[in-house]
Amino acid sequence: MAEAAQSAVPGAAQSAVPGGAQSAVPGAAQSAVPGGAQSAVPGAAQSAVPGPAQPAVPGPALSVELEQGAPIPLAARFDCGEGELLALVGPSGSGKTTILRAIAGLIRPQSGSVRANGAAWFDARTFLPPQARRVGLVFQHYALFPHLSASGNVQAALPPTLPRATRVSIARELIEFVHLGGLEDRLPRELSGGQQQRVALARALARDPQVLLLDEPFSAVDQVTRRRLQRELAQMRRRLKIPIVLVTHDLEEAASLADRMVVLHHGRTLQSGAPFDVLARPATVDIARLVDYRNLFTGRIAAHEPECTRLAWLDCLLEVPPAPAYAPGSEVSWGILPAHCILHRRDRPSRGEHENPVRGVIGEFVPFGENAAVTLHVDGRQDVELHFSVPTHVAARNGLEAGVEAVVSLLKQGIHLMPLAEGHHPVPVAGGHQPAPVAEGHQPAPVARVDPAARAR
């Protein structure tokens, strides 16, 4: 039955399931199970899927440049190294899944290129069909064959020319690799969502892929299962020496799993970098909003000093990391992560009270398990909200609740300046400076990491 599923459509299991069993997560029988499928069938996966004739050249393991105007606009550029996990994040409709489908060869963009290990899969002169690309694609809903067992689904991704005993052996090794040993004879309907996801991953790894694509693979399972699968992926990827591209809406998932993150909007690459750098230092206010950067304000550069820049905001004169690219008098956007807003303790003063103290009245206090979300109306103003969180026991010790006055310090190293957002509504600032053009080429200063346990001094 596995042979039928594969041979019924040219290109086999890959085309039988959109994106296919081959593309589900090819590549791993060899690299994921050391000494396993590779030693059982030397070179089998490679010979089953004819690859391009061009010799590989030094460079990124995966390089992507995609351009088109319709039906879904694309202007995406990124690369992914060997053994690297790259997360594509952005709102619904930003083109994330379309990009994965273009890498897999399921759609042909108007222009651009896709290269794996230097070999062209797509460019102005080349378009390899899906079955000719050693690429693995795990779908959001897994796309398992309902009439095949777990073992049968994995075998469907293997060349039908292999002896049946060899296919069974490879499938068993991969099923054990994804921690499903003993369940190889169960049908998909007899497996939980998390177990089905593992079968899809094992099927993908049966084709020795050069590239692994994961399209929101954890979105269809409950939170507990999702966390467990995320941990398992983090462990498995250490043994997969191939580029992995993960599409996700979950910023925490991207930050915890990915080596690098790419922010997309309307199919366009806006920013890429290490997850913490992108989340803490967005290049523009628009990107900041896309990554849920809630504390966004406007201010004016008051002066530059040897160890800091002075930022005028409301009635405050804040110390921020040196930002010589912005001229004195320039109006800028700025932000700070909640983790860098430190609550002052009421029972005793601390040395941190001298670092950018900001006073206000708590407008909203919402406990969430071990932590509480706090909204501070700065200077009692309803239109200026500062968001941060503190451990619940710290909130109780300091008597935090709506209507209570509080003071926080804004850590200097946590304040991030950005070019002024277009169409902004300026907040009055001290000093009365007239706005001046913002200098180009702004390089954000390093942001200090803060342990959540130290959020109250």
Categorize the per-residue pLDDT at 26 as very low, low, confident or very high, splitting at 50, 70 and 90.
Answer: very low
Same domain, 190 and 325: no
What does the pLDDT look like over 146-187, one tens digit per residue?
A: 999 999 999 998 888 889 999 999 999 989 888 888 899 999
Q: Say yes or no: 148 and 191 in one domain.
A: yes
- For the entire predicted model, the pTM comes to 0.76
Task: Provide mean pLDDT across the span 132-136.
Answer: 89
pLDDT at 35 > cutoff 50: no
Count how many domains the chain has: 2
- The pLDDT of residue 50 is above 50: no
Geometric angle at alpha carbon 380, from 376 and 382, rounded to 5°: 75
Last-in-domain residue among 227, 254, 280: 280
Q: Which residue has the higher pLDDT, 196 or 222?
A: 196
What is the pLDDT, as a whole number, of residue 230? 86
Poorest-pLDDT segment among 90-94, 177-181, 275-279, 393-397: 177-181
Whether residue 100 is predicted with pLDDT greater than 90 in this model: the reply is: yes
CA distances to 204, 233, 355, 448 from 197, rounded to whole Å, are 11, 11, 49, 37
Of 422 and 114, the one with more pLDDT: 114
Pair (141, 248) in one structural domain: yes
Model pLDDT for residues 319-330, shown as the tens digit of each residue = 999 999 999 999
Same domain assignment for residues 220 and 369: no
Are 242 and 320 in the same domain?
Answer: no
Q: Which of 327, 308, 273, 263 is nearest to 411 (CA)?
A: 308
Pair 226, 325 in one domain: no
CATH (domain of 300):
2.40.50.100
Establish if 214 belongs to a structural domain. yes
Same domain membership, residue 157 and residue 106: yes
* CB distance 29 to 213 below 8 Å: no
Domain extent at residue 260 = 2-280
Question: Does residue 27 surpass a pLDDT of 80?
Answer: no
287 in any annotated domain: no
Residue 383 lies in a domain: yes
Assess whether pLDDT exceeds 60 at residue 428: no
Task: Tell me how far apart the alpha carbons of residues 322 and 340 are, in angstroms, rounded to a whole number.
Answer: 17
Q: What is the CATH number of the domain that holds 220?
A: 3.40.50.300
- Give yes or no: residues 116 and 47 share one domain: yes
